[in-house]
Amino acid sequence: MTGSAQTSLDDQLERISIIQHVAREFFAGEWSNERFRMLIDSSEGYDTDLWRQICKLGWSALMLPENDGGAECTFRELVAIVEEVGRALAPVPLAGHVVAGEIARQAPPSALRDELCSTVTDGVAPLTIAVLEADLTSDRTDVALAALAGSKGWVLQGEKRFVGYARSASFLIVAARLEDGELGLFAVPANSARISCKPLKMLDWSAIDSVTFDDVIVPATNLVARGARARDILREALSQADVLLVAEMCGVADVALDLAVDYAKIRETYGKPIGQYQAVKHRLVNLRADIEIAKALVRAASNSITGNANDRHVAAAQAAYWAIDALKKVPEGCLQVFGGIGFTWEHDIHLYLRRCATLASQLGDRTEYREMIVGALDKARFSSNVA
Amino acid sequence: MDGQVEFTEEDEAFRAEVRTFLDKNLPKDWNKEGKPWNTSEERVAYLRAWLSKLDEARLSAVSWPVEYGGRGATLAQQIIYSQEMSRRSTPDIINRGAILQIGPALIQWGSDEIKSFFLPRILNAEHIWCQGFSEPGAGSDLAGMSTRAVDMGDHFLVTGSKVWTSRAELADYCFLLARTDPKAPKHQGITAMILDMQEPGITVSPLKQISGLSGFNQVFFDEVRVPRDRVIGEVNNGWAVASNTLRYERAGTATSRAERRLEILTKLAQSTKLDGQRRIDDPVLREKLARYSSIVQALGEIGWRSIVSGLKGIPPGPETSVAKLIWSEIDQSMSDCGMEILGPYGPLQSGSPHAVKGGTPAASYLIMRAATIGGGTSEIQRNIIGERLLGLPKDQ
């Protein structure tokens, strides 16, 4: 960012709004709720053609530096596209893939790193992050899956849960505990022997799996980072992943609310459109306000992350906290406006409800975010003049 | 914020200038426990002196054009100015309303005589201004005002009443809207004018608030004379003049108030104990604080964005219309929470034994009732947002 404040701000806002517009048009042309319904209970759980087109557009390598074959865009552009993914209910591994790619590119220069970067660019078989395990922890960097040094490399033993798109992945970025207790981040080829993948049946049918590592042997060079560096990289990735989940939820909630507002204008009871009654009108306004707060928090967090500001993890936590506390409830309130018709399989509102609730669940527990936010407040040094 | 704007060397030089000014001129008795005044007269004198000091360094109204005593500050410099002033929690700007709203209207619509006489006296606090817009019968529906200004040729005679008028008891001048053509459609028969508060026929009657203090007034006008050359803009074109001043986006100031209240709340939660534990360590209270912190952060972002787009002439987005609603409710809720944290100490008023922070938690608990009433009740705000932003049918 150089030049005068106004110019750089204009450029950024313009770039983001253009890319968001392009993404909206793309999904409007290539995706629909009818196609979403066709995927229900399918084996892939997502549309490989749609994902292939997204990769062709270069979005799979959006954040990768140009030297590595990427588009070298900022996190803000990714956020804008992911919000559109949410609006379209598009089942694509974009967010997880790009964030996993951000970890992968931190690997020391090697043939493996080159392969990882070209996989990020190519995208077709996505990268994915494997962090959560059977025992949930409020600090997600606190993992148990064991990585032991063996004669042929590292031996991974344990289970990862809630891994997005593992069934189709090229590489899994696995957070593991090394013998000395340090954190290690591994790039594990998904086709390694003794990996098994169990599809989970999620509320929104999204492609999320459990992955078991039964003494999986990984070459020594596949250790991307370890110790404090691995922790920093993972912390960064988790904040990015959280903000992207909230951005996607914003898109989902936005459309759900539009549907409810449109319905409130035409559905009549006692001779009046229901949107004329304050009980309904004020509910819809409150939901709009909840979305606007969420969008503002996503913007603030993505600005902080892009600018590598000190408060970026707190800013991401605020977005996540609000998403769990309020944004998740937006489709619930919208469904209520539809009344009985909203409870039917044919009506689309439950698709938005399912997606939003599932995305919120992937953020995990509110405790982690609450403690990060209030911890920062408690530490903050306020000016002495507080009357 | 820092992720959004890069400051140039000139901007940083301006920041250094503001800092040096504050180091040298911020009164020594400021930022101490308690206020450096005992009576409201002392307060006014103190704040007048402060504004005049700012004006000597041309720092009263940095966004005003240079020819009218401002700096013609760029967006970045205006941001720096408010950052530095709020960082040092500087005293209130007594003519804030006049600087933000009345002055720009005079600059846009006033004659050269009006500008050269009034503008410098706004900046150095020689004149205190009040604003006569709302009426007892015209609050949310401002254009429905009934205060009349009868055209007598070289002057108008104003008769009627204005309400919620802050500083009317001190004011030298009133920026007034009055109906000059009762037969015209309600937005078209209104004229903006400057009324001299020393003229005969004016009665200022303080309104006692629930806090027991008088914060604003009802003002009665009985054939008060306003010379014709004190009309701002054209006769019957006052709505355009006023709309411009009303359009000024206040989200920015509202946000810094909410930020301050969160600070106050955090400090209360740190310093109050239950079972020997700091209240801030209670997970239930931490839930509330996390929620407040997130909303305050969002409001900061929304306020920032509306300032940026406002200064660039981009129409405000949907987030701006919901900001006032969110802000007023969260600010009120935070002051309620302050009382809750203090338990039995919450209701202690100023001057009481054991009062915490001079009784301010109890006082703001009362005062913050106004947050969801003033400037349009939350209920009216929701109707307006529902109808204008969401396009829902109007309630008959």
pLDDT tens-digit map of B60-69: 999 889 999 9
**For residue B252, what pLDDT is reported?**
45
Contact A297 B385 (CB under 8 A): no
Which has the closest alpha carbon to A136: A372, A371, A361, A326?
A361
B261/chain A closest Cα distance in angstroms: 9
Contact B391 A3 (CB under 8 A): no
In this complex, which of A4, A12, A321 lies closest to B294 when CB atoms are compared? A321
Could you identify the residue written with the tokens 């370890």? A226
Contact B262 A377 (CB under 8 A): yes
Q: What is the DSSP letter of A166?
A: G
Q: Are A85 and A248 in contact (CB under 8 A)?
A: yes
Interior/surface letters A35-59, b for 16+ CB within 10 angstroms, e for the rest = bbeebeeeeebbbeebbebbbeeeb
pLDDT per residue, tens digit, chain A (387 aa), is 333 444 455 677 788 889 999 999 999 999 999 999 998 877 777 889 999 999 999 999 999 999 988 888 899 999 999 999 999 999 999 999 999 999 999 999 999 999 999 999 998 899 999 999 999 998 999 999 999 999 999 999 999 999 999 999 999 999 999 999 999 999 999 999 999 999 999 999 999 999 999 999 999 999 999 999 999 999 999 999 999 999 999 999 999 999 999 999 999 999 999 999 999 999 999 999 999 999 999 999 999 999 899 999 999 999 999 999 999 999 999 999 999 999 999 999 999 999 999 999 999 999 999 999 999 999 986 644 333
Residue A218 burial by Cβ neighbours in a 10 Å radius (0-12, 13-18, 19+): buried
Q: Are A279 and A333 in contact (CB under 8 A)?
A: no
Residue A14 burial by Cβ neighbours in a 10 Å radius (0-12, 13-18, 19+): exposed
Which has the closest alpha carbon to A206: A368, A290, A79, A85?
A85
DSSP per-residue letters across B296-338 = HHHHHHHHHHHHHHHHHTPPP-HHHHHHHHHHHHHHHHHHHHH
Contact B6 A1 (CB under 8 A): yes
Confirm or reject contact between A264 and chain B (CB < 8 A): yes
Six token digits for residue A363: 């953020």
The secondary element (H helix, E strand) that includes residue A196 is strand A195-199
Q: H helices of chain A, where?
A: 5-30, 33-38, 48-56, 75-88, 94-104, 111-122, 227-266, 278-306, 312-325, 330-338, 349-363, 366-379
A137/chain B closest Cα distance in angstroms: 17
Question: CA-based angle B282:B345:B86, to the nearest 5?
Answer: 75
Contacts of B379 in chain A (CB under 8 A): 278, 282
**For residue B72, what pLDDT is reported?**
86
Contact B386 A306 (CB under 8 A): no
Contact A276 B395 (CB under 8 A): yes
Q: Are A242 and A363 in contact (CB under 8 A)?
A: yes
In this complex, which of B264, B266, B294 lies closest to A318 when CB atoms are compared? B294
Confirm or reject contact between A239 and chain B (CB < 8 A): no
Contact A289 B326 (CB under 8 A): yes
Among candidate residues B84, B135, B169, B249, the one labeled active-site is B249
Contact B263 A382 (CB under 8 A): yes
Q: How many CB atoms lie within 10 A of CB A246?
A: 32
Six token digits for residue B167: 């500083």
**For residue B2, what pLDDT is reported?**
39
Could you tell me where the beta strands, DSSP code E, fall in chain B?
129-132, 148-151, 155-165, 173-179, 190-196, 202-208, 214-227, 231-232, 273-274, 277-278
Count Cβ–Cβ pairs < 8 Å, chain A vs chain B: 182
Catalytic site includes residue B249:
yes
Q: Which residue of B has its CA nearest to A307?
A: B3
| Alpha-carbon radius of gyration of chain A | 22
Contacts of A295 in chain B (CB under 8 A): 319
Six token digits for residue A340: 């009985």
In this complex, which of B11, B287, B385 lies closest to A285 when CB atoms are compared? B385
Could you tell me where the beta strands, DSSP code E, fall in B75-201?
129-132, 148-151, 155-165, 173-179, 190-196
If DSSP codes are grouped into helix, strand and coil, which group holds residue B54?
helix
Residues 269-298 of A with CB under 8 A from B: 272-273, 275-276, 278, 281-282, 284-286, 288-289, 292-297
**For residue B296, what pLDDT is reported?**
95
Which stretches of chain B score pLDDT less than 50?
Answer: 1-3, 247-252
Residues 7-46 of A with CB under 8 A from B: 8-10, 12
pTM of the model: 0.83
